[in-house]
């Protein structure tokens, strides 16, 4: 499996001829993305689905399946994409042969009491012989089952590092964690967050697979 971190929460996952883009948001590098076979959106916030560039990205990839959280689907229907939108249903699965997409989770993390919670559906991506990857979107409470690689949000208005560490410890990825959701951090702050995850994400530490600026990176199990 090849992973490319395109900024903030956006990952390009390549496996078995599939090119699956997850969470193309406003902080991410989306220029020139072509040949996508699927676009996955965990929830409707602009840093996960850029309202300006997102619809154009989908139109530039007319053969890509559009797999989105249910409330987000309604927004894309209003953009005239109703014929392409497929709603992610927790407990179901989507076959992108050879990649299986399993939606998990229902709600966004609590930001604060004055912001209404919205839907959030993370995704587990798995293929035979490849590492199992979990991208949670913006929630730390889903139950994805055993995973090899965890895409972990390291910073957000709704998060604190103690909750991040508890999340990593609970999921206990076998291979390591890929930092995402870092678009609000400068280099100094980001290094501090990654250090906390590396040192305290498991007893004895956890491997941090920092893909920022690394291009397409092959990950094995």
Q: What are the pLDDT digits (tens) for 40-91?
A: 999 999 999 999 999 899 999 999 999 999 999 988 888 777 888 999 999 9
pLDDT band at 185 (very low <50, low <70, confident <90, very high): very high
**Cβ–Cβ under 8 Å, residues 134 and 152:** no
Q: State the DSSP code for 27.
A: T
Angstrom CA distances, 180 to 2, 39, 84, stand at 16, 17, 27
**Cβ–Cβ under 8 Å, residues 89 and 64:** no
Q: How confident is the model at residue 55, as a pLDDT?
A: 87
User: Could you identify the residue written with the tokens 């890509």?
Assistant: 64
pLDDT band at 220 (very low <50, low <70, confident <90, very high): confident
User: Could you identify the residue written with the tokens 């103690």?
Assistant: 162
**Cβ–Cβ under 8 Å, residues 124 and 149:** no
pLDDT band at 221 (very low <50, low <70, confident <90, very high): confident
């Amino acid at each position: 499996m090849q992973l490319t971190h395109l900024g903030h929460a956006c990952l390009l996952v390549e496996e078995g001829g599939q090119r699956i883009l997850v969470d193309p948001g406003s902080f991410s590098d989306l220029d020139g993305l072509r040949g996508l076979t699927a676009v996955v959106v965990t929830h409707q916030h602009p840093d996960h689905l850029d309202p300006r560039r997102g619809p154009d990205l989908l139109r530039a990839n007319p053969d890509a399946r559009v797999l989105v959280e249910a409330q987000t689907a309604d927004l894309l229907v209003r953009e005239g994409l109703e014929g392409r939108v497929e709603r992610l249903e927790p407990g179901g699965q989507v076959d992108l042969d050879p990649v299986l997409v399993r939606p998990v989770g229902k709600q966004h993390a609590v930001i604060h009491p004055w912001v209404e919670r919205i839907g959030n559906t993370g995704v587990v991506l798995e293929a035979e012989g490849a590492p199992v990857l979990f991208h949670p979107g913006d929630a730390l409470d889903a139950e994805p089952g055993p995973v090899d690689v965890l895409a972990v949000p390291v910073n957000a208005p709704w998060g604190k590092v103690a909750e991040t560490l508890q999340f990593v410890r609970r999921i206990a990825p076998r291979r390591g964690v890929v930092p995402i959701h870092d678009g609000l951090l400068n280099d100094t702050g980001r290094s501090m967050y990654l250090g906390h995850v590396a040192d305290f994400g498991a007893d004895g530490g956890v491997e941090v697979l920092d893909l920022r600026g690394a291009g397409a990176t092959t990950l094995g199990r």
